[in-house]
Structure 1
Amino acid sequence: MISNYLKIAFRNLAKHKGYSFLNMAGLSVGMAVALLIGLWLWDELSYNRYHDNYDRIGQVKQHLNNNGEIQTWSTTPYPLAEELRKNYGSDFKHVVLGREDGDHILTYGNNKFTKRGMFFEPAVTEMLSLKMLKGSRSGLTEPASVLLSASTAQALFGEDEPMNKIIRLDNRLDVKVTGIYEDLPRNSTFHELTFMAPWQLYYNTNDWVRTAPDPWRPNAFHIYAQLAENSDFDKVSVKIKDAKLNRVSAELAKKKPVIFLHPMSRWHLYSDFKNGINTGGKIQYVWLFGIIGAFVLLLACINFMNLSTARSEKRAKEVGIRKAIGSVRSQLIYQFFAESILVVLFSLVLALLWTVALLPAFNEVADKDVRILWEEPLFWGICLGVSLLTGLVAGSYPAFYLSSFNPIKTLKGTFKVGRLAAIPRKTLVVVQFTVSVTLIIGTIMVFRQIQFARNRPIGYQSNGLVAVPLVTGDIQRHFDAVKHDLLQTGTIVSMAQASSPPTEIWSSSSTFDWQGKDPNLSVDFPVMVVSHDYGKTIGWNLKAGRDFSTAFGTDTSALILNETAVRFMGLKHPVGETIQWWQQPYRIIGVVSDLVIQSPYEQVKPTIFSLGQDATFAVLKINPAKSAGEAMINIEAVFKKHNPSQPFEYRFTDQEFAQKFGNEERIGKLASFFAILAVFISCLGIFGLASFMAEQRTKEIGIRKVLGASVPSLWRLLSMDFVVLVLISCVLSAPIAWYLLHGWLQTYTYRTDLSWWVFIAAGSGALLITLLTVSFQAIKAATINPVRSLKSE
């Protein structure tokens, strides 16, 4: 019986090739979208699952009262790790201290590479369940050792044996390779860590850590913990909440630090905190794209339903004959479901081909490394399960509708579907375009928000600004000579040093005091240490006072504040005022416009600039008369002359700033991609409906032409129904889009508004696309010779 259903279904599909093509094209595109989104969701939801102890690992974080709000920090003081082991050891299997210290230079022979790594306590290898290719997980027990990822070992040693080789770290430390571990996957938080070195090595070689007057003050370290078998994240967090508060000074106790564990399962998708409350994070995009995928697949199902029921009159006699010779309704239902499932299975094959073709471009846009899970039984189970469900959903309405026809009426030729039969089809078209227009509005608003933040004044000139990391200290020691050589070549117009690149700020201080400050107020201000000419190099805008100058020897105890810091401190006339920093007096010599250094979507924080030599970056302003390519060749030559041991790397500030919009841009590109496909699927459906409608009204059109109707009037007649449906969709989509986008925009402090023209533009675009789609069939029908359409009469 089943084989008979499938044979008849196949014959029907082969007989009506155009109808079958439209159905399979729409369904395959919808299923391809669902596949791509499903693979993306799999990657997001499986983040960090590479690590065997995924559900038992957490990061130690802290809530702090700063600047009148509760801030959440991922960094902690390093003595906290020992405190947790000593007083709460029964709750943990491992407590691992780590220090992420930016990029480092790895050297072996003539091979030199800048790589990112971390200094960890030895238990990290067991906690993260590293897959060791050479050596063992105990490799970090030696103080002067290093573990390398497989790709880093390949880059350094090629085909040579890496084990027990001595490599140089930052041109000052010799370390022995004691293990090679499998590269961590892209969907691991630790993916970028290409080497791991012992924490003890970092401690032994950094005086600022060993000699810190109060080791509980610098919050510059990461602590990761693996729970004991019978422990629970929430219960342990309650236990350890005062672990820091009980040990810090009275001054730091004003911050009311609360220690807690953030589970690894929430690191990626639930990383946002506001006023001490976890407000979500990327999970909103998981929900967003999951819903989009479901709706796009639903649009494809709607096409199937509409095209099937639109052909109801053509299949009425078939149903009548089947019923007359004894077929019961259930058999007809099974027959129509068989056709539906067969179409879906063919569409699945096409969808897989679409997915294979689109995956490279999708990965590039999404910044992912997802792949089709050909060898996963679960993947095939989900594909077949979703296909079966899609077939049942898409075929349900046609099956129950077509099987309900009265056999006597259909065989007499008196059966007519009637005007009311079109209402479900029209309703489904409205649903289709409501979803499509909502997606279009959302896409426009994402890019509008990005452009709004891009157009925000950033307070400095980023064009032609280059930041060069200083890893080894050689450039700092020869800074004046480097600057002189570059100025002599005419490559640059200015050069300075800074403790971070212009687009980031890596340190802060809570030891500021000023006249009128609330004694109970705990503060934490971002601080950037810069050299003379930094302001001139980046082109910041002085609002009051002056810049740092070599003409004033007292500038070593001077500060420049941004406008937000001045407002926060309540200083009416800041220039000349004295504030205390580390209980030492510093004089304010200038005020600059707010610089957008951190998130372009958030309010600028009160920031302070001090003069010093604590530089980790050289900042250069390229001569506008020089091309960027020529300038970088000259700059590299000078840097290599004075520091041949360091690979030359650089960052263009405008490009670094542009990367701050990367996440939103990816979301916008993905949303636009899916919106285009949603509109395409909707248009396929309308195209099919328009063709059937034109076919049904062939004789009516012929009579109207004989009576003098013009082609434009016939075009208007055939198009008006669809125009009305799309207008209804626009009206319905507006409040839905407004509600969703208003909530999304509230997550940004610095945000654009929901302008009325966005809704008009999206609706007008949908209407234009609809008219273009329908017009082909409408004009074709309107230009048919009436003699041909009426000759059977």
Structure 2
Amino acid sequence: MLRHNLLLIYRNFKRFKSTFFINLLGLSTGLACTLLIYLWVKDELNVDSFFENDDRLYEIMEHRVKTDGIWTAYTTSGPTAETLVNEMPEVAYAAAVGRVGKSTVSVDDTNLREVGKPVGTDFFRIFSHTLLVGEKDKLLADKNSIVISDALAMRLFKTTENIIGKTIDLDHELQLHVSGIFKKMPGNASDQFDFVWSFEKFKEGKEWLTGWGSTSALTYVLLKKDASVAAFNEKIKDLVKKKTDNNVTHRTMFAKRYSEIYLYSKYENGVLVGGRITYVKLFSVIAVFILIIACINFMNLSTAKASRRIKEVGIKKAVGAGRRTLISQYLGESLLLSFLSLMVALLVVDIALPHFNTITNKSLTLDFDSNLILAFTGIALFTGIIAGSYPALYLSGFNPATVLKGKINTVVGELWARKGLVVFQFSLSVIFIVSVLVVYKQIVYVQSSNLGYNKDNILYFGREGKLWDAGTLESFLAELRNTPGVAGASTLNHDFTGHMSGTYGVKWEGKDPDDATEFENFTVNYDVIEMMNLKMAEGRTFSQQFGSDSSKIIFNEKAIAFMGLKDPIGKTVQLWGQDMQIVGVVKDFHYESLHENLKPVFFRLAPQDTHIVMTRLAAGREKETLDQIQKLYLKFNPGFIFEYTFLDAEYQAQYAAEQRVAILSKYFAGLAIFISCLGLFGLAAFTAERRLKEIGIRKVLGSSELGIIFLLSGDFTKMVVLAVVIAIPASYLLITYWLGGFAYRIPLTWWYFALGGLLALLTAWLTVGTQAIKAARVNPAKCLKDE
């Protein structure tokens, strides 16, 4: 019986070649999209979940109350980890981690810029990184030790053997000895680093890391197996208040599972509202919809061609075949086609994966382990059953006496179902088109918006080595400013691409004593405001012409409005207990992404407290200027590596997730439309074939070719127009939700929806039109020769 059914399936595929190839192409395209999204979603869901004690590993976070709401921060005070492990019985281990970034590591004449961070002694007890050499409880017992990855060991020593105890210079200042080697983290680790060293060593001489007033460290804890997270959070909620002399009440602590932070990281007013999980859900839905669109093609074409298989059904039923037998045959046909499509889809995925990895910034692979094989087989089975169930039930339900007479009583419900499926297909296509248009325009908007400063041709690099000496820094800046092609240079504490240094230590006359709003702190050298092309609303910038400006302060307009100051120039405020005179007000500018609203900002002059050197290059000669800057840098800082970042590139990186969504949406929208049009093409071809005699008669009676084209295209046009009407409100709701994540966004005008509908309609006309024109040009004599 199996062999017989397979033979029948083969003959049917061979008999209806066009339908077979349309279904194969549609299903394989839909499956390829689904499989790519599956690989991406699986990787996203597994980020940071590979640690041995994942269910007990938590990061300590803080809710900070401000007048305009609650801000949720990932930073804590330096003593938090030590306090938790000593005072909270629920905590097995705790570790503080400093935020440093890249540093120079050196062995003999080899100098490398690598990502490293200072960590607490119990770091490797909390995070189960694979240790190749060393014991996790002893790795950082010595403050002068360093633990490196196997990849860094190969770059520094060309081996991982016999390097324990060898010395590595950190920033040419600290001599640390290697105490262990860990295996480089897998690609699905959100925190990638090459070495760690002692937090105890790092905090030496840094008073701001020893008190509760500053929040410059990250804190991780491993809870005991029987610990209740809810009870633990209740106990640590007011810890900052208990540890501060002034009873700080605006900072409340809580623990969040570490592996959840990657996907669930977005808070609004202290409430978790999502994060990357939004895009995981979005693309999961897109995968399902694309698969459904492909299945709809199969259903529609299978039921549409039923009139050409009625005698097969009638004869089988007449000789005793039961409905169950026929259902199994047609479902088998669908499943076989689904698995053939899966084979084609796997080939497409293998070809497309490198490009897909480039877009998503991942390293996905087709490793056929048992889970992957099971998942792909399940998707193919699901597709085959969904696509074939309706045609199987439909075809097996024919009455043998009726069908052997060559007639099928077309049920109105069946026609409406088929049309409804086409409408559903194109509704999704229109939603995809509108979404792509709006996402593209929003990305263009955020990339081209006036930020209040000029980010073009600005580069910055860390202040390290000899540049920490004030006299050396000034000499370096003087020569840098005189370098041909350099339009400006200065130093500051952080770049213009996000919140880095906030304080609630600003006080003014009339301030609410309960207010804890953070002001962004830009600690700067001279000429920063001029170099960044920030505009002054009133007053002046810092200038050496007025003597020392160390007791002067400049605010942005948002800060002045927030403080309610009238005629602010010359007035005095307090910063960390010191009187500061307001000498200027800069116009508001965006130092964060356009996801965020404008916030209060101040500039204070303290060159000794700046951390990065920022330089503006003259346009048109960037390459030669960069070469000169590198030579100058190495002259002042021998043994260090000149590594820089362009500000505009860093700004664009803030929208990496949105840019990936825009690119992927464009591809998936195109494929959804392609699959929909495949089905429409097949239906149009079948309709034209079924109505050939009618067309012949109409032409004999004087109908023009244009009239025939309109006749054949009319029903399909109505279906697509209905799809547009349904899709517009649905796409409006979807896009409004997505744009809600931006504080500054484009207005939703009518033309996005009109253009989306028009594109779908034009695509449908082109698809149907090819078949309509072909049918309209047929010779009526050939249509009517058997009448």
TM-score, length-normalised on structure 2?
A: 0.97
Residue 245 (structure 1) aligned to one of 228, 241, 255: 241
Residue 391 (structure 1) aligned to one of 384, 397, 404: 384
Verify the 8 A CA contact 2:634 2:640 in the aligned structure 1: yes
Match of 1:446 in 2: 439
Residue 407 of structure 2 corresponds to residue 414 of structure 1 = yes
Q: CA deviation at 1:68?
A: 4.0
Cα distance change on mapping 1:291 and 1:308 into 2, 3 Å = same
Instruction: Report SS of the residue matched to 1:702.
Output: helix
Verify the 8 A CA contact 1:469 1:618 in the aligned structure 2: yes
Match of 2:370 in 1: 377
Match of 1:96 in 2: 95
Residue 614 of structure 2 corresponds to residue 615 of structure 1 = no
Verify the 8 A CA contact 2:153 2:159 in the aligned structure 1: no
1:257-656 to structure 2, matched below 5 A, reads: 257-374=251-368, 376-417=369-410, 421-474=414-467, 477-613=471-607, 614-624=609-619, 626-656=620-650
Q: Greater CA deviation, 284-293 or 233-242?
A: 233-242
Verify the 8 A CA contact 1:6 1:342 in the aligned structure 2: no
Any idea what the Cα deviations from partners look like across 1:708-743, whole Å, max 9, x if unmatched? 222222111111111111110010011111222222
Instruction: Report SS of the residue matched to 1:564.
Output: helix
Alpha-carbon distance in 2 for matches of 1:697, 1:669: 42
* AA aligned opposite 1:620: T
Alpha-carbon distance in 2 for matches of 1:20, 1:426: 21
Q: CA deviation at 1:201?
A: 1.5
Any idea what the Cα deviations from partners look like across 1:659-711, whole Å, max 9, x if unmatched? 11111111111112111111111011001111111111111111222222222
Instruction: Report SS of the residue matched to 1:245.
Output: helix
Q: CA deviation at 1:208?
A: 3.4
Residue 120 of structure 2 corresponds to residue 121 of structure 1 = yes
Alpha-carbon distance in 1 for matches of 2:129, 2:414: 63
Alpha-carbon distance in 1 for matches of 2:626, 2:7: 69
Cα distance change on mapping 1:57 and 1:160 into 2, 3 Å = closer
Verify the 8 A CA contact 2:241 2:249 in the aligned structure 1: no
Any idea what the Cα deviations from partners look like across 1:732-788, whole Å, max 9, x if unmatched? 011111222222222322222322111101000000111111111111111112222
Verify the 8 A CA contact 2:481 2:488 in the aligned structure 1: yes
Any idea what the Cα deviations from partners look like across 1:258-281, whole Å, max 9, x if unmatched? 111011232111111121111121
Any idea what the Cα deviations from partners look like across 1:60-90, whole Å, max 9, x if unmatched? 11112234422211111122222212221x2
Instruction: Report SS of the residue matched to 1:98.
Output: strand
Q: CA deviation at 1:510?
A: 1.6
Verify the 8 A CA contact 1:58 1:225 in the aligned structure 2: yes
TM-score, length-normalised on structure 1?
A: 0.96
Any idea what the Cα deviations from partners look like across 1:201-228, whole Å, max 9, x if unmatched? 2123x34347x6xx11111111101110
Match of 2:37 in 1: 37
Verify the 8 A CA contact 1:57 1:264 in the aligned structure 2: yes
Q: Greater CA deviation, 309-318 or 414-423?
A: 414-423
Verify the 8 A CA contact 1:509 1:527 in the aligned structure 2: yes
Alpha-carbon distance in 1 for matches of 2:584, 2:7: 85
Match of 1:168 in 2: 169
Instruction: Report SS of the residue matched to 2:102.
Output: strand
Q: Greater CA deviation, 60-69 or 436-445?
A: 60-69
1:725-764 to structure 2, matched below 5 A, reads: 725-764=719-758
Alpha-carbon distance in 2 for matches of 1:463, 1:259: 40
Instruction: Report SS of the residue matched to 2:549.
Output: helix
Residue 680 (structure 1) aligned to one of 664, 674, 679: 674
Q: Greater CA deviation, 448-457 or 341-350?
A: 448-457
Q: CA deviation at 1:431?
A: 0.7
Instruction: Report SS of the residue matched to 2:544.
Output: coil
* AA aligned opposite 2:225: E
Match of 2:769 in 1: 775
1:654-673 to structure 2, matched below 5 A, reads: 654-673=648-667
Any idea what the Cα deviations from partners look like across 1:519-570, whole Å, max 9, x if unmatched? 2222321101111111121111111111110111231111111111111111
Count the aligned residue pairs. Answer: 783
Q: CA deviation at 1:186?
A: 2.5
* AA aligned opposite 1:772: L
* AA aligned opposite 1:334: S
Q: Greater CA deviation, 34-43 or 417-426?
A: 417-426
Alpha-carbon distance in 1 for matches of 2:631, 2:499: 28
Alpha-carbon distance in 1 for matches of 2:682, 2:149: 55
Alpha-carbon distance in 2 for matches of 1:750, 1:757: 20
Q: CA deviation at 1:577?
A: 1.1
Identity of aligned residues (%): 35
Any idea what the Cα deviations from partners look like across 1:615-646, whole Å, max 9, x if unmatched? 2111111123x421122111111111111222
Alpha-carbon distance in 2 for matches of 1:484, 1:587: 28
* AA aligned opposite 1:64: R
Alpha-carbon distance in 2 for matches of 1:659, 1:565: 27
Q: CA deviation at 1:24?
A: 0.9
Q: Greater CA deviation, 226-235 or 762-771?
A: 226-235
* AA aligned opposite 2:244: V
Instruction: Report SS of the residue matched to 1:478.
Output: helix
Alpha-carbon distance in 1 for matches of 2:407, 2:418: 22
Alpha-carbon distance in 1 for matches of 2:407, 2:668: 44
Instruction: Report SS of the residue matched to 2:22.
Output: helix
Verify the 8 A CA contact 2:115 2:193 in the aligned structure 1: yes
Verify the 8 A CA contact 1:505 1:527 in the aligned structure 2: no
Any idea what the Cα deviations from partners look like across 1:210-263, whole Å, max 9, x if unmatched? 7x6xx111111111011101012222111221222111122x5142x2111011
Match of 1:131 in 2: 130
Q: CA deviation at 1:15?
A: 2.7
Verify the 8 A CA contact 1:41 1:286 in the aligned structure 2: yes
Cα distance change on mapping 1:496 and 1:329 into 2, 3 Å = same
Cα RMSD for the two superposed structures: 1.6
Alpha-carbon distance in 1 for matches of 2:446, 2:203: 41
Verify the 8 A CA contact 1:527 1:609 in the aligned structure 2: yes
Q: CA deviation at 1:163?
A: 2.9
Q: CA deviation at 1:9?
A: 1.2
Q: Which runs of 5+ in 2 are unaligned?
A: none
Q: CA deviation at 1:416?
A: 4.7
Instruction: Report SS of the residue matched to 1:766.
Output: helix
Alpha-carbon distance in 2 for matches of 1:236, 1:420: 60
Instruction: Report SS of the residue matched to 1:730.
Output: helix
Q: CA deviation at 1:468?
A: 1.8
Q: Greater CA deviation, 71-80 or 741-750?
A: 741-750
Q: CA deviation at 1:590?
A: 0.8
Match of 1:158 in 2: 158
Alpha-carbon distance in 2 for matches of 1:332, 1:622: 75
Verify the 8 A CA contact 1:68 1:521 in the aligned structure 2: no
Alpha-carbon distance in 1 for matches of 2:437, 2:56: 41
Q: Which runs of 5+ in 1 are unaligned?
A: none
Verify the 8 A CA contact 1:105 1:471 in the aligned structure 2: no
Alpha-carbon distance in 1 for matches of 2:140, 2:358: 36
Alpha-carbon distance in 2 for matches of 1:194, 1:354: 36
Q: CA deviation at 1:334?
A: 0.8
Q: CA deviation at 1:420?
A: 5.2
